Amino acid sequence: MNKGDILLLHGAFVGGWVFERLRGELNRRGWKTHAPDLPFHGSAFANAPPHPDLHRQGLAEYRNFLSAEIERITQPSQPAPVVIGHSLGGLLAQQLAAQNLARAAVLLAPVAPWGTLPHTRWELETVYGLLKSGSLTHKAMAPDFTIAAAYSMDRIPAALQRDIFARMVPESGRVLFETLLWWLDWHAASHVSAHRVQVPLLVLGGSDDKVTPPSTCRAVARRYPGRAVFREIPELSHFIFGEPKEDEVIAMVADWLDGHAL
């Protein structure tokens, strides 16, 4: 049985490979999954200097790339795909849903849209850490193991952290600016027209997430009253993939999709 297409949207500094285990379960249940790498995020860009065109990529460019992917995988007689987004991908998933390009959305530790104020000191420290490193004032940012291990991969076993980090890629400074310093972005690139999102949404957040803490994930869910369900998972951090609670997340996502996205 083919239940339909699912487009998986990865976050900053990584690629579609993060969804490997989630894709396996969704494929087993009859979904057809697609996990494209955002521009200049493929495996060839790991352990390499930023591509010279990476700095030209903003949220609009990422969204246009994903819109083209949706057009490519969707047949005229088929419904729009489900979108599953992690972190930055969760923000892009909201924007695609607002464009009527998704039939349902799952937001895993999503970056909040324009206008959502930070809720914790961890979020402020994340911005401060990036500012201190100069990442938001340069054209692109290489991944930083110390920051990733402390703020994102803190629930991943130490033996796996270096393996995961070795697969990470540089990220567009423009995208980081548009998301983390949204109040300085006159173009409001991270804005989402919440009233245009008319599909069911599942929002998952981890109790130990320092990047998008539960309070921020709840704020995201509240933007879509009557459409979004929020669930907090104890002892889950931000990276999710490779964490001890990954199996719980996978089961929760797959079960929700079978109940709300068919």
Q: Which long-range contacts (CB under 8 A, 24 or more apart) does 161-164 make?
A: 164/239, 164/242
* Per-residue model confidence (pLDDT) at position 131: 63
Condensed to tens digits (0 to 9), the pLDDT of residues 80-131 reads: 999 999 999 999 999 999 999 999 999 999 999 998 877 666 666 666 666 6
Q: What's the token pair of residue 15? A: 């690629």
Mean pLDDT over all residues of the chain? 92
The stretch 230-241 carries a mean pLDDT of: 98
Domains defined for the chain, CATH in brackets:
4-260 (3.40.50.1820)
Which helix (H) or strand (E) is 71 found in, with range? helix 59-73
Number of Cβ atoms within 10 Å of the Cβ of 118: 16
SS (H, E, C) 29-61: CCEEEECCCCCCCCHHHCCCCCCCCHHHCCHHH
* Per-residue model confidence (pLDDT) at position 116: 80
d(CA 261, CA 30) in angstroms, rounded, equals 13
d(CA 203, CA 205) in angstroms, rounded, equals 7
Residue 62 has pLDDT above 60, yes or no: yes
Condensed to tens digits (0 to 9), the pLDDT of residues 184-227 reads: 888 999 999 999 999 999 999 999 999 999 999 999 999 999 99
* Per-residue model confidence (pLDDT) at position 133: 57
* Per-residue model confidence (pLDDT) at position 10: 98
Burial 192-222 (b: 16+ CB within 10 A, else e): bebeebebbbbbbbbebbbbbbbebbebbbe
Neighbouring-strand partners of residue 9: 85
Q: How far is CA 25 from the centre of its chain?
A: 19
* Per-residue model confidence (pLDDT) at position 75: 82
pTM value is 0.94
φ/ψ (deg, to 5) at 34:
-135, 130
- Check residues 233 and 1 and name the one with the higher pLDDT: 233
235: left (phi over 0), alpha (psi -120 to 50) or beta: left
d(CA 3, CA 137) in angstroms, rounded, equals 44
pLDDT band at 60 (very low <50, low <70, confident <90, very high): very high
